[in-house]
Amino acid sequence: MKTLEIAPLLRGLSFDGEKGDIVVSKEMLAEAELTCSADDLSSKFKAGMRSVNVDGVGGFLLGEDYDAAAKGTANPEKVAGRAGVVNNKVCVVTGGAQGFGEGIVRALIKDGALVFIADMNVDGAKALAQQLNEQEGRTVAFGVSVNVTDEISVEAMVNEIVQLVGGIDVFVSNAGVLKAGSVKDMTLKDFEFVTDVNYVGFFLCTKHVAPVMELMNKPQGNYFTDIISITSKSALEGSSKNGAYAGSKFGSVGLVQSYAKELVVDNTKVNAICPGNFYDGPLWSDPERGLFVQYLNAGKVPGAKTVADIRRFYEAQTPMNRGCNGEDVTKAILYSVEQTYETGQAIPVTGGQVMLN
Ligand SMILES: NC(=O)c1ccc[n+]([C@@H]2O[C@H](COP(=O)([O-])OP(=O)(O)OC[C@H]3O[C@@H](n4cnc5c(N)ncnc54)[C@H](O)[C@@H]3O)[C@@H](O)[C@H]2O)c1
């Protein structure tokens, strides 16, 4: 067995019914509470152990949060109730360096999660992680590089995370792109670009994350993990001149339902969250290329004279009279994680703009 298999097994063995320990992989330790073979690990490991050597594989440090494991600080106090849903869980957010993803990262950290910000913009991801670690005064985030359309890159990201902390509890597939355009003149290249990031990227991430989650569940059989696809309200209702995007998001719901049925044997739940428009992010609010400016310049909203007029027009289309944000989406993530009697759903967070039948 290799480090990348032993670490999730240890995380699963340390599971106390609510959380597994963070497991940091090392070279063989000079002193360890337990030294044994990989085959004897399940019978010899006892909950609460903080250092283990596995013959021929390496050493492993354990603790309830990253600093307790890696730096030997005291375990943090337990957080009870709903506030504890993601506390000290290892969460990954792809596309977490900006926009919705950044909002989700910030909200998960507020709820105590250890978050991997996985983005093509690795500098942005690392800068955000550093800012959050300084703000919290402990290790709450890491920035890691990934291109979700490249299988080698996705596999490397998953391995890097497992090596660092021993597993993944909640994987949020958020990285996504939009290229609007009529079906009559959209290029195949643009169509494939959107499909690759939004649809194929979700397949590649699930392919490499699901086996890690299976390993974590193996020792005790009651470890629950979550894979969550951030789709869109355009996964519930078609979107005119936006077919590539809506198609990729509807398709992702098909993957979610299929993976949910398949991965339930590993206690991995798979759900989609379908947010409404996020007006504060760069997609809508970028002062040069954002959709508000584009729609103003194109005269798309009759009578609108300013960006603020355009924004109000769109906000008024939602019963809740505002756009969606990362905290709204994170509440749906918490629901999916806390709920252990539901999987394969597409959960709307649209302020009532799209209502399910
Ligand atoms: N903005 C909205 O109004 C809105 C509404 C509903 C759903 N969504 C969905 O929310 C998600 C995030 O959207 P956003 O508006 O915040 O986008 P954004 O463009 O602001 O941010 C996307 C992030 O993903 C990263 N990224 C892009 N391609 C990547 C790739 N191949 N590999 C790794 N990282 C990549 C970017 O570097 C960026 O940090 C998307 O899936 C989007 O479809 C957005």
Domain ranges, ordered by start, for the chain: 1-78, 82-276+325-357, 277-317
**Locus of tokens 């709307």:** 348
Residue 145 near residue 65 (C-beta atoms within 8 A) = no
Q: Give the Å distance between the CA of 351 and the centre of ligand 1.
A: 20
Which residues, at least 6 apart from 331, have a Cβ–Cβ distance to it below 8 Å?
A: 349
Question: Does the 82-276+325-357 domain belong in CATH 3.40.50.720?
Answer: yes
**pLDDT, position 119:** 98
Token look-up 């597993």 returns 167
Q: How confident is the model at residue 83 (pLDDT cuts 50, 70, 90)?
A: confident
Mean pLDDT of 159-168: 98
Backbone φ, ψ for residue 63 (5° rounding): -170, 165
pLDDT tens digits, one per residue of 186-235: 999 999 999 999 999 999 999 999 999 999 999 999 999 999 999 999 99
**Is the pLDDT assigned to residue 1 strictly greater than 80?**
no
pLDDT at 78: 83
- By most ligand atoms within 8 Å of CB, the mutation choice from 119, 145, 249, 329 for ligand 1 is 119
SS3 content of the chain, % helix, strand, coil (to 5): 45, 15, 40
* Per-residue confidence (pLDDT) for residue 167, from 0 to 100: 98
Mean residue pLDDT of the chain comes to 96
pLDDT of residue 298: 86
For the segment 66-80, what is each residue's pLDDT rounded down to a tens digit?
999 999 999 998 888
Active site residue 245: yes
Three-state secondary structure call for residue 92: strand
Q: Which atom of ligand 1 is nearest to the CA of 146?
A: 33
Strands 141-145 and 114-119: parallel
- Annotated active-site residue in 199, 245, 259, 314: 245
Looking at residue 149, its pLDDT comes to 98
Pairing verdict, β 22-26 and 58-63: antiparallel
Confidence of residue 300 (pLDDT cuts 50, 70, 90): confident
Mean pLDDT, rounded, for 128-132: 98
**Lateral strand order in the sheet of 225-230:** 141-145, 114-119, 90-94, 170-173, 225-230, 268-275, 346-349
The DSSP letter of residue 112 is T
Give the contacts of 279 (CB within 8 A, at least 6 positions apart): 285, 292, 311, 314, 315, 323
- Using CB distances shorter than 6 Å, the residues near ligand 1 are 94-95, 97-101, 119-121, 146-149, 174-177, 197, 201, 230, 232, 275, 277-278, 281-284
DSSP code, position 181:
B
Report the separation in Å between the CA atom of 176 and the middle of ligand 1, taken as the mean of its atom positions: 4
Question: How does residue 40 score in pLDDT terms, banded at 50, 70 and 90?
Answer: very high
Measured CA to CA, the distance from residue 84 to residue 341 in angstroms comes to 18
